[in-house]
Amino acid sequence: MPESQPNGRDSLDPAWLLGLYREMLRIRAVEEEIAARYSEQEMRCPVHLSIGQEATAVGACQALRPDDQILSSHRCHGHYLAKGGDLKAMMAEIHGKAAGCCGGRGGSMHLFDLKAGVLASVPIVSSSVPLAVGAALAFQQRGEDRVALAFLGDGSLEEGVFHESANLAAVMKLPAVFFVENNLYAVYTHLRGRQPDRPMTEIARAYAMPARHVDGNDVTAVHAATVEAVSRARAGGGPSLVIADTYRWREHCGPNYDNDLGYRGPEEFEVWKGRCPVGAFGADLKARGLLGDDEETRMNRQIAAEIDAAFAFAREAPFPDPASAGDGVYA
Amino acid sequence: MPERLLSAAEAIREAQDQAMAADRRVFVIGEGVADPKGVFGTTLGRVEKYGPGRVVETPLSENAFTGVAIGSALMGQRPILVHQRVEFALLAMEQMVGNAAKAHYVSNGAHCVPLVIRLIIGRGWGQGPQHSQSLEALFAYIPGLKLVMPATPADAKGMLLAAIADDNPVVFMEHRWIHYATGHVPEASAPTPLDGPRRRRDGDDVTLVATSYMVFEAVQAADALAGEGVGVDLFDLRVARPLVLDAVVQSVRRTGRLVIVDTGWQAFGIGAEIAARVTESCFGALKAAPRRIGLPAHPTPSSPMLAKAYYPSSEAIAETAGSLAGLEKNRVAKVRETIARNRNDVPFDIPHPSFRGPF
């Protein structure tokens, strides 16, 4: 069973808990807005929304320092924002504008922010995993106490390069964290058809690294497990594996729900939707008397204003010069 | 002071050593870099000098350690990655093509990948289908990668230094038989610009462009043709991407004839690209259709009986270039005899002593 820890929240700083909640609300609201506006066809690139997976992004990134680096995948919006990536640059990128973080060259699947420590996002499954290990190698070579964290999905565990990277990082005791968001599906294919029935944490034993299995919809449990992995890496103890169970609410790629396709049942979907990482955490904070309705309304209003401003910025920003498409192939 | 003679393998080792001594960010990574053979001697003794943190012996994980090298480069390190056979790089194409070649472009210039990927092409002694392929065209196809193919020891050193200093991913292809070639190599750590072809022989009758080891075969052909009064303007291509052909086009405007000989398969190869570009640039100056010399369209067989005709010889180059320049058949035959006589009875599947230079 995955670890969760709502009962352990008593000792945590209320202001920090509210910050976690606000960040999850913000990521949810950004992606809901992308979904709502997607049909306007102003965002002319694929989008892989992480609605339902906000606790993994926020919990894990809260365990990192600003100068630590994360690597992400095609589903990178939440990771990018949770690590401190610039929202305006992200929205401009999805709109294909020159002010986008990639200048319109990458689109939604290639978000990065050097200042925030979002080193790169790569849409080929597991492709960014060795990049994280390489960043960790650079830290080790230079004697820096920084950590590189790779966000990967359950499907990544089926890729050879994940196993190569885990083995290499373990042998060289590199300061890396392999953070797996297990959302059960590779596009439409369920985990049970792709991997044998065993705890994913057992994979770590092959590489003599510790592993933790957490409820990926419990932001403080995610945070606690990641802190442990990050501390170990930072202290020179080598890599760790974190498995966080979560669920993607919408279609693999695009703004819609796709339960009509029949690849997953309505019961399963409703169970996970009932375990909403944002809603459950907000309810817990309210039950503890840490969050009032007024405070929540104020948060939502501020977030909505920020998102409106980011969309306005993205829509009004100029496109890149078409003649520049061939620039910058070489440094 | 007398000039030093080094083999290309020694020159490559010296270039890496000087770069590592000068810049702490430079490190070597690969399978066998710290072992007792040191990648054909080219990394020998470096782990003792710089330690395992900078001469990184890796698990057998080509795609991962290529990604690791790229990740470290994104963080400002300057890795030199090496595969003892080019075939191992096929396991790492995903990282090379997806990440190394695109990081600078996709990041709109924010990222650089100062990475050198040394790939060694095998040849001879029956190494067969998966230990002796010349796959340079695969890498030349990818925008964002540079592709360097030195022939001479001086270039092996100078161009490797330039590749290490370059902020782009540079594929540095070393034909195993150029490792043996000797030449004058400056002691100083002086990069040779990755700027395009160099003329190796002068002539007015036919332009010959050769790559890597085939430069040595082409030199034999050019010298023998000169004996029969055919002037060969011979270029060593050196850099296949970015491909700079101004000097070659100028030469073809003068000679009207072009022959390309490269180490890879003829079909879809580097020779095809050169022929197309030169033709587009100076069609009117051509007196004959350009000719390509390359490998036949089948895998490299192992048996000496099957492999004998696989590699184009200097005789074949001389025949193609001589005929194109209008040399009579009997004089072409004489050129072939001269080359064969120089070759003596040295088996075809080991490097000929005369190819050791200096050139």
Q: CB contact, 8 Å: B72 with chain A?
A: yes
Active-site residue flag, B131: yes
- From the list B62, B136, B273, B319, the catalytic residue is B62
- CATH for the stretch B5-184: 3.40.50.970
Whether A241 maps to a domain, the answer reads: yes
Residues β-bridged to residue A220 = none
Domain membership of residue A330 (yes or no) is no
pLDDT < 50 regions, chain A: none
Is there a contact between A124 and B104 if contact means CB atoms under 8 Å apart?
no
Q: For residue B347, is pLDDT > 90?
A: no
Helix (H) / strand (E) element for A121: namely: strand A118-121
Specify whether B315 is catalytic: no
Where in the sequence of chain B do the CATH 3.40.50.920 domains occur? Answer: 198-344
Q: Is B324 a residue whose pLDDT tops 90?
A: yes
In terms of CA atoms, which chain B residue is nearest residue A108? B106
Rounded CA-CA distance B13/B39 in Å is 10
Helix (H, G, I), strand (E, B) or coil at A168: helix
Q: Does any CB of chain A come closer than 8 Å to the CB of residue B146?
A: yes
Could you tell me which residues come within 8 angstroms of residue B341 by beta carbon, excluding any fewer than 6 positions away? none
Question: Are B151 and B180 spatial neighbours (Cβ–Cβ below 8 Å)?
Answer: no
For residue B359, is pLDDT > 60? no
How remote is the C-alpha of A247 from its chain's centroid? 12
pLDDT (0 to 100) of residue A6: 74
Residue A321 lies in a domain: no
Domain that holds residue A28: 12-247+255-316
Question: Which chain A residues are closer than 8 Å to B76 by Cβ?
Answer: 138
- pLDDT, tens digit, 9 for 90 and up, residues B58-79: 999 999 999 999 999 999 999 9
- For residue B210, CA distances in Å to A152, A245, B70, B132, B255 come to 46, 58, 31, 18, 16
A244 touches chain B (CB under 8 A): no
Residue A186 near residue A155, CB atoms below 8 Å:
yes
What is the C-alpha separation between B90 and B103, in angstroms, rounded?
Answer: 20
Closest-approach residue (CA) in chain A for B109:
A328
Note the pLDDT of residue A5. Answer: 75
Q: What is the pLDDT of residue A331?
A: 97
**pLDDT score at B22:** 98
Instruction: State whether B99 and A131 contact (CB < 8 Å).
Output: yes
The pLDDT of residue B1: 53
Which chain B residues touch A103 with a CB distance below 8 Å? 108-109
Question: What confidence score (pLDDT) does residue A119 get?
Answer: 98
Q: What pLDDT, on the 0 to 100 scale, is given for residue B124?
A: 86
Pairwise CA distance, residues A298 & A294, whole Å: 6
Please identify among residues 165-194 of chain A the ones whose CB lies closer than 8 Å to any CB of chain B: 165, 167-168, 171-172
Residue A328 inside a domain? The answer is no
Residue-wise pLDDT tens digits, A256-266: 999 999 999 99
Judge whether A263 lies within some domain. yes
Grade residue B133 by pLDDT with cuts at 50, 70 and 90: very high
CA distance B140 to chain A (A): 14
Question: What secondary structure letter does DSSP report for A185?
Answer: E
CB A172 within 8 A of CB A236: no
Domain-located, residue A89: yes
Number of domains in chain A: 1
Higher-confidence position of B161 and B353 = B161
Query: What pLDDT score was predicted for residue B63?
Result: 97
pLDDT of the residue at A1: 75
Helices A277-287, A54-61: inter-axial angle, 10-degree rounding: 70
The verdict on residue A325 lying in a domain is no
Length of chain A, please? 331
The per-residue pLDDT for range A162-178, each reduced to its tens digit, is 999 999 999 999 999 99
Rounded to a whole number of angstroms, the distance from the CA of B264 to the nearest CA of chain A is 25
pLDDT at position B15, please? 98
CB pairs under 8 A between A and B: 138
**B-proximal residues of A, 261-320, CB under 8 Å:** none
Which residue ranges does chain B devote to CATH 3.40.50.970? 5-184
Cα separation, B184 vs B159, whole angstroms: 14
pLDDT over threshold 70, residue B358: no
Token pair listed for B206: 């036919």
Interatomic CA distance for residues B59 and B264, integer angstroms:
30
A42, A94, A300 from A89: Cα distances, Å: 15, 9, 21
Binned at pLDDT 50, 70 and 90, residue B355 comes out as low
The whole-number pLDDT of residue B352 equals 73
pLDDT above 70 (res B356):
no
Each residue of B93-124: pLDDT tens digit? 999 999 999 999 999 999 999 999 999 998 88
CATH number for the domain harbouring residue A114: 3.40.50.970
Question: Which option is the CATH number for B198-344: 3.40.50.920, 3.40.50.300, 3.10.450.50, 3.30.2270.10?
Answer: 3.40.50.920
Write the secondary structure of chain B as one string of H (helix), E (strand) and C (coil). Answer: CCCCEEEHHHHHHHHHHHHHHHCCCEEEEECCCCCCCCCCCCCCCHHHHHCCCCEEECCCCHHHHHHHHHHHHHCCCEEEEEECCHHHHHHHHHHHHHHHCCHHHHCCCCCCCCCEEEEEECCCCCCCCCCCCCCHHHHHCCCCCEEECCCCHHHHHHHHHHHHHCCCCEEEEEEHHHCCCEEECCCCCCCCCCCCCEEEECCCCEEEEECCCHHHHHHHHHHHHHHCCCCEEEEECCEEECCCCHHHHHHHHHHCCEEEEEEEECCCCHHHHHHHHHHHHHHHHCCCCCEEEEECCCCCCCCHHHHCCCCCCHHHHHHHHHHHCCCCHHHHHHHHHHHHHHHCCCCCCCCCHHHHCCC
